[in-house]
Amino acid sequence: MIKLILSTIAYAKVGAQESVDLHIDQALVGDLELIQLQGNLQLTRVAEGVSIHGELDTQVKTECARCLTPFFQPVTIELEDIISLPGAELTEERPVRVNKDGWADLTPLVREYAWLGLPVNPICSPDCKGICPECGGNRNTGECTCVETVTIDPRWEALRDLMSDSDQA
């Protein structure tokens, strides 16, 4: 649960503003596991509810597209939404409302934005060597012990000959 206390702003006059620092070590948002969710949110009381705006940094657990190992992908969430007032009907567009105790659970919003922020092909590290097509082993962890046969392009052979010739000259 990503709990945001809105007990003051929800009952304030339209135009009232508040700034909130969010810091959550770990959160399970639907099927996504997030860690280190943090950032600053600007809250503004608007006619329809409380508008929230801000940037949150987090790391989302995903799987490397190359080596299939789970890892945490850094994701920046640009939150820009409106939280409905207590008693308002929940809709697909407005899936979050302030409950009668004065707080809201941001889980549906954060989940949606976190998905949007995830790359289509997340890579655990720029130099991830991936899975060996021969044995299926992870090349990063030494699971694959296949000997790579390096074939030298004949054009490079010619160049090498040229270079060694000039060395001798």
| Nearest distance, CB of residue 69 and Zn ion, angstroms | 5
Shorter beta-carbon distance to Zn ion: residue 95 or 122: 122
| Nearest distance, CB of residue 57 and Zn ion, angstroms | 22
Shorter beta-carbon distance to Zn ion: residue 63 or 161: 63
Binding stretches for Zn ion (CB under 5 A): 64, 66-67, 124, 128, 132, 134-135, 137, 144, 146
Contacts of 24 (CB under 8 A, 6+ apart): 2, 34, 37, 38
Residue 4 pairs in a beta bridge with 104
| Nearest distance, CB of residue 31 and Zn ion, angstroms | 21
Contacts of 14 (CB under 8 A, 6+ apart): 45, 46, 47
Contacts of 143 (CB under 8 A, 6+ apart): 132, 135, 137
| Nearest distance, CB of residue 36 and Zn ion, angstroms | 20
Cα–Cα distance between 78 and 93 in angstroms, integer? 16
Shorter beta-carbon distance to Zn ion: residue 110 or 144: 144
Shorter beta-carbon distance to Zn ion: residue 90 or 146: 146
